[in-house]
């Protein structure tokens, strides 16, 4: 099954309702990239009237995780995926619509190929950059994903 923004957003309603309620939405996905947006609103803000860091993290993680899910589905194998580490940098107050983009699809192919060939878990670091409507970077998230063929 090919993952589309509509399928992922529907999945989020039932499996990740906090993501959906906070307004996090997938706008684009292909084999190499994923784009997710979230708009600053009362429900997802911090006391400083900007987008709460955890909501930014949800959106950023979704850009990376959606590509991993799509690649696993494409492989036809039963492979587990898990975030094992992450870090973030915040460079500007996040207000308005924030767009997160991950362009690390090619990294996943190598890790999946290695885990399928060896049966050993593999890890990869993927980056998601959040920008505001003016194109200014507001935050950068890095996620370490672990993938392993299920036994």
pLDDT reported for residue 146: 98
For 57, residues 6+ apart whose C-beta sits below 8 A from its C-beta are 86, 88, 141
> Could you tell me if 34 and 99 are in contact, meaning their C-beta atoms sit under 8 angstroms apart?
no
pLDDT band at 7 (very low <50, low <70, confident <90, very high): very high
Residue 1 clears pLDDT 80, i.e. is over it: no
Tell me the chain's radius of gyration from C-alpha atoms: 15
What is the tens place of the pLDDT at every residue in 111-145? 999 999 999 999 999 999 999 999 999 999 999 99
Rounded to whole angstroms, how far apart are CA atoms 65 and 60? Answer: 9
What is the tens place of the pLDDT at every residue in 75-98? 999 999 999 999 999 999 999 999
Residue 47 clears pLDDT 80, i.e. is over it: yes
Average pLDDT of the segment spanning 22-51: 97
What is the tens place of the pLDDT at every residue in 64-77? 999 999 999 999 99
7 φψ region: left (φ > 0), alpha (ψ -120 to 50), beta (else)? alpha
pLDDT band at 2 (very low <50, low <70, confident <90, very high): confident
Q: What's the mean pLDDT when you consider all of the chain?
A: 96
pLDDT band at 151 (very low <50, low <70, confident <90, very high): confident
């Amino acid at each position: 099954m090919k993952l589309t923004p509509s399928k992922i957003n529907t999945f989020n309603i039932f499996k990740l309702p906090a993501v959906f309620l906070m307004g996090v939405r997938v706008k684009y996905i292909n084999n190499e990239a994923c784009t997710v947006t979230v708009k600053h609103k009362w429900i997802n803000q911090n006391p400083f009237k900007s987008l709460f860091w955890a909501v930014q993290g949800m959106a950023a993680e979704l850009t990376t995780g959606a590509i991993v899910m799509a690649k696993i589905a494409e492989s036809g194998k039963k492979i587990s995926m898990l975030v094992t580490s992450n870090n973030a940098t915040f460079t500007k107050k996040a207000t308005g619509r924030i767009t997160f983009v991950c362009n690390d699809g090619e990294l996943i192919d190598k890790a999946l190929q290695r885990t399928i060939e060896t049966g050993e878990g593999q890890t990869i670091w993927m980056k998601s950059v959040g920008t505001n409507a003016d194109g200014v970077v507001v935050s950068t998230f890095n996620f370490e994903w672990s993938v392993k063929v299920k036994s």
